């Protein structure tokens, strides 16, 4: 029986974590995502499902607690916002290097530095390029609604365990703070020891009993073995691209101009499309749902029959690079961005399309 509630995006992350059987959340307060831990602490899930919730002394400690919990084959997560996510990069590269699954929620705010507490999408590079040192990637999901904040928690854990790789939900302050109607998931039980043995029995730290010892490590002193490991990671990322690149299209069937936008920018673009069509401009929206792997195949297919792409981001131009890397070179790709915590209006997006692409061609 579906339970429908009016909730904030950040609160939903907490609720979804409890309901999907998450084992542990480790966090540190930072605006605009503090409601995640506040909601968890108020809900006291340890009384209900046994889920552990702990306020760590820093973002660094929190992600390393996740590392420890994830190494045990548990479903562990953390959440933060941009400056805090920068601090977590060390832990994330170790998690990727040790092939440990976990979920990280990034409710992005404007930067650089301490920046602003207002929403932004200026951490696309950090999220999709790995963020920390070494050749690695996170699998990155970009929710555009409170409902997706809910849905992507469970999906994120599934993908994390499918690939033994950290998964990031890249939201922004708009999605985190906004209230919407959400259909909550039914409760799933936390994994039992038997479940963990079945799912992660080949690597999880459960105590060495009747088997060789398990070691969660990212260290390999032999360069040739390290290279083999790097090949393995690259093969995994190719599999992600083949099997789990996700996107949505809106009014693309007859579109001549396509907005490419994710998260809250994609919502704003929906209004821009309506304004465009009122003015006789056939516009559509391509929304990457996974930012890594970037949905290259469908976007490339679209590029063979449209007149131009406008990447709309709350950044100075980051995702636009992936769009340019994807589409045919003879199709114009332009970028329109507002940043520093400023949210673009539907009108200025339409004006930018007209000025930068339609008039220019």
Partner 1 sequence: MTVETIDIIREENLVYRKTPALTDNVMHYCPGCSHGVVHKLVAEVIEETGIREQTIGVSPVGCSVLAYNYLDIDWAEAAHGRAPAVATGISRLHPEKYVFTYQGDGDLASIGTAEVMHACNRGENIVIIFVNNAIYGMTGGQMAPTTLVGQVTSTTPYGRDVKLNGFPMKITELLAQLDGTGFVTRQAVHTPLAIRKAKNAIRKAFENTKKDKGTSFIEIVGTCSSGWKMTPVDANRWMVENMFPKYPLGDIKDI
For position 345 contacting partner 1 by CB under 8 A, the verdict is no
Q: With binding defined as CB under 8 A, does residue 214 bind partner 1? A: yes
For 336, the enclosing helix (H) or strand (E) is strand 333-337
Closest CA to 29 of 97, 72, 67, 81: 81
Residue 20 as a binder of partner 1 (CB under 8 A): the answer is no
Q: Which residues of 83-118 are buried (b: 16+ CB within 10 A; e: fewer)?
A: bbbbbbbbbbbbbbbbbbbbbbbbbbbbbeeebbeb
Rounded CA-CA distance 58/296 in Å is 37
Query: Residue 220 or residue 248: which is nearer to partner 1 going by CB?
Result: 220
Pick 206 or 241: Cβ nearer partner 1: 206
How many residues make contact with partner 1 (CB under 8 A)? 38
Residues 7, 18, 22, 66: which binds partner 1 (CB under 8 A)? 66
263 Cβ neighbours under 8 A, 6+ residues apart: 121, 142, 143, 144, 170, 171, 172, 174, 175
**Nearest CB to partner 1, comparing residues 98 and 281:** 98
What is the CA angle 163-123-77, rounded to 5?
45
Among 12, 70, 149, 350, binds partner 1 (CB under 8 A): 70
**337: β partners:** 313
The yes or no reply on residue 217 touching partner 1 (CB under 8 A) is: yes
67 lines the binding site for partner 1 (CB under 8 A): yes
Residue 40 in the binding site for partner 1 (CB under 8 A) = no
Which residue from 65, 139, 285, 306 is in contact with partner 1, where contact means CB under 8 A?
Answer: 65
State the minimum distance, in angstroms, from the CB of residue 257 to partner 1: 46
State in Å, rounded, how far the first CA of the chain is from the last one.
Answer: 53
Q: Does the footprint of partner 1 cover residue 56 (CB under 8 A)?
A: yes
Residue 182 burial (10 A CB sphere; 0-12, 13-18, 19+): buried
37 sits near partner 1 (criterion: CB under 8 A): no
What are the phi and psi torsion angles at 96 (to 5°)?
-65, -40
Based on the shown chain and the rule CB under 8 A, indicate whether residue 85 belongs to the binding site for partner 1: no
Strands 102-108 and 52-55 turn out to be: unpaired
Cα–Cα distances (Å) from 276 to 49, 270, 285, 333, in that order, read 49, 10, 12, 18
Examine residue 57 and tell whether it contacts partner 1 (CB under 8 A): yes
Residue 235 binds partner 1, judged by CB under 8 A: no
Q: Given the complex with partner 1, which of 53 and 299 has the nearer CB atom?
A: 53
Kindly tell me which residue out of 29, 31, 38, 54 binds partner 1, with binding defined by CB under 8 A: 54
Kindly tell me which residue out of 6, 58, 179, 235 binds partner 1, with binding defined by CB under 8 A: 58
Q: Which residues bind partner 1 (CB under 8 A)?
A: 23-24, 26, 52, 54, 56-58, 60-62, 64-72, 74, 76, 90-91, 94, 98, 205-209, 213-219
């Amino acid at each position: 029986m579906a339970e429908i509630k009016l909730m904030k995006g950040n609160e939903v992350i907490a609720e979804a974590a409890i309901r999907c059987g998450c084992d542990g959340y480790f966090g540190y307060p930072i605006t605009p995502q503090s409601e995640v831990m506040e909601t968890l602490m108020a809900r006291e899930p340890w009384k209900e499902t046994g889920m552990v919730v702990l306020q760590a002394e820093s973002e660094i400690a929190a992600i390393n607690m996740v590392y420890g919990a994830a190494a045990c084959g548990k479903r562990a997560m953390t959440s933060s916002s941009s400056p805090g996510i920068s601090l977590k990069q060390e832990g994330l590269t170790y998690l990727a290097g040790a092939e440990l699954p976990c979920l990280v929620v990034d409710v992005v705010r404007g930067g650089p530095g301490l920046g602003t507490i207002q929403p932004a999408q200026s951490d696309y590079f950090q999220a999709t390029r790995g963020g920390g040192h070494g050749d690695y990637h996170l699998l990155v999901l970009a929710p555009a609604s409170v409902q997706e904040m809910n849905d992507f928690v469970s999906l994120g854990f599934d993908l994390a365990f499918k690939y033994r790789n950290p998964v990031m939900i890249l939201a922004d302050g708009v999605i985190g703070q906004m209230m919407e109607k959400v259909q909550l998931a039914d409760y799933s039980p936390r994994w039992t020891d038997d479940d963990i043995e079945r799912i992660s029995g080949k690597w999880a730290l459960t105590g060495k009993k009747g088997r060789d010892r398990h070691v969660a490590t990212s260290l390999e002193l032999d360069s040739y073995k390290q290279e083999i490991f790097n090949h393995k990671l690259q093969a995994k990322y190719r599999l992600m691209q083949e099997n789990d690149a996700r996107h949505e299209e809106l009014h693309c069937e007859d579109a001549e101009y396509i907005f490419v936008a994710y998260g809250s920018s994609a919502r704003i673009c929906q209004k821009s499309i309506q304004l465009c069509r009122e003015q006789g401009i056939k516009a559509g929206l391509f929304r990457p749902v996974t930012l890594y792997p970037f949905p290259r195949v469908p976007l490339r297919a679209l590029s063979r029959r449209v007149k131009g792409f406008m990447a709309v981001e709350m950044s100075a131009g980051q995702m636009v690079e992936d769009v340019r890397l994807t589409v045919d070179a003879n199709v114009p790709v332009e970028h329109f961005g507002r940043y520093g915590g400023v949210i673009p209006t539907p009108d200025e997006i339409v004006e930018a399309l007209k000025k930068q692409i339609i008039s220019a061609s």
